[in-house]
A and B are shown apart, each in its own frame.
Chain A
């Protein structure tokens, strides 16, 4: 409900002026799960965020010190830095419905059953 009311107050969220998505995908090495997450995310972005997103993939095995900043504990985790508020999608994004809800690309209420 809170998210919904926020949307209505911001005219930018209408289809006419789509928001820009700043995304970070945290993974640890090229595991099957990491690759699955990356593929699933790519598909979602292609279908829903064409031309209005930026994606940074961070491999924590290479840069472990970055886990602290975004409060990462589970992997893979997709962090939506923008638009605000910040959202964390934990898991390999294989559940597309939940992923879309998590990114606020689907209304929240429909998935809560």
Chain B
């Protein structure tokens, strides 16, 4: 062992071909194995064809690698129409000889097997197509269709093995798609022949919401994210959201910005949140989460910074009306366009729909601050782990862009509001918890800072008062070892000579 330790083994990194697909190159550490075939498998409608086509179109557009698309399922016209609808028009690239589409039609009814054969016809067609545009990328979609037209599976399997080896010798980076099988990853065991890289796509419905998943099952000679990653398909193609590969390399800003509530700024080292940080405000119903979010957004607008507000519970008009009752008028900022509210019911579209909409809006509007109110409503869309993945991705994205984001979260258990948010709180830099305390027949709201990374912050539980002049955080009054809140405090104040009539005054020691 010590001997080998002296001579470090030089691991030759596998050369890779970038797919240009957002997130996929991240998971695979740079793309698909260059000059080798990759198997992409999944059930019907899982996105195999779209992923393959985007791989070719990106290759031709961005990396100067022409590509051949050999379809066994759809005619060239159908394929073209499908991709035009996705905003991936292959025709200009075909015209410039950067892309070649061909359809291998297999009609079982007109085929009769009469003796020994091989797939040289396919080889010749493919080679001709590759040579005519000097292709570097090839897609075979879905080659297993051959099994429906030809019955000699032994010959077919041997020929497919030969085909994949031939693709390797041609040095083209290929995607071979396969339909998910009952027992194996593909119906006819293509995974036995393509061992360089295997990607599994999945399209499942959980609680009536369709979600797509991508997983790199195997990647020979390379490390890769092994987790399932959500992905979505919209007008701009495929985007994969890696869960594990949170790049924690974003710029960190020492800049601070106001929470919009002076008392809260003071609790956070007198300066407020860090710019580019993520803030979680959790609490049960009616504890004032939206109020804090509103003040935060308004403070940004006052600084002439744009704010984007994702409302998953109320309409824009409702938020404006409700916040006006606590002395906050968002109307002028809405009119000026500094504040934009994007309201949607989380159930109106699937998780991927929300992901894409939020990403797109953030990218398009480039806001300085973002509010998601509440993030917990997305839990009704996906299971918690999906929301976690989505959040991770979104937070990462916003941090890179130096956007400050505030998320509210509705918790059920008022006694332990932390419990329900543990999953997402690790992504958060600052975590505020709002509580409803019921003591002596009255309800009192409190606020405390559970954590706030990288800054001194108050450890006190403050009384959180919503008045028509805004949010006030009252200092805690201790009396005989108890915390006095609400009317108890008032009563105590009347008795005490040193009345803490205003906030932030220390309670007199007994």
Contact = CB atoms under 8 A, between A and B. Distances in A.
A and B physically associate: yes
Interface of A: 26, 28, 33, 36-37, 40, 60-61, 64-65, 67-68, 71-78, 85-95, 98-99, 101-102
Given A73-B146, A98-B112, A61 B117 contact: no
Contacts of B107: 71, 88
B106 A89 contact: no
Interface residues of B, number: 24
A81 to B, nearest CB: 12
A91 B116 contact: yes
A74 B118 CA distance: 5
Q: List 10 tightest A-B contacts by C-beta distance, closest first.
A: A102-B112, A91-B115, A94-B115, A64-B128, A92-B115, A72-B121, A91-B114, A75-B120, A73-B122, A99-B114
B118 to A, nearest CB: 6
Given A61-B124, A65-B128, A68-B125, A73 B119 contact: yes
A67 B70 CA distance: 13
Contacts of A71: 104-107
B207 interface: no
Contact of B120 (A28, A68, A102): A28
Contacts of A40: 115
Contact of B121 (A28, A78, A93, A99): A28
A73 B110 contact: no
Nearest to A61: B124
18 contacts: A33-B118, A61-B124, A64-B125, A68-B102, A71-B105, A71-B106, A71-B107, A73-B122, A74-B118, A74-B121, A88-B107, A89-B111, A91-B113, A92-B116, A94-B114, A95-B113, A95-B115, A98-B113
Specify the main secondary structure of chain B where it touches its partner.
Answer: mixed
A97 to B, nearest CB: 9
B188 to A, nearest CB: 16
Nearest to A44: B114
Contacts of B115: 36-37, 40, 91-95, 98-99
Interface string B388-428: 00000000000000000000000000000000000000000
Contacts of B112: 87-90, 98-99, 101-102
B114 A95 contact: yes
Among A36, A71, A85, A95, max chain B CB count under 10 A is at: A71
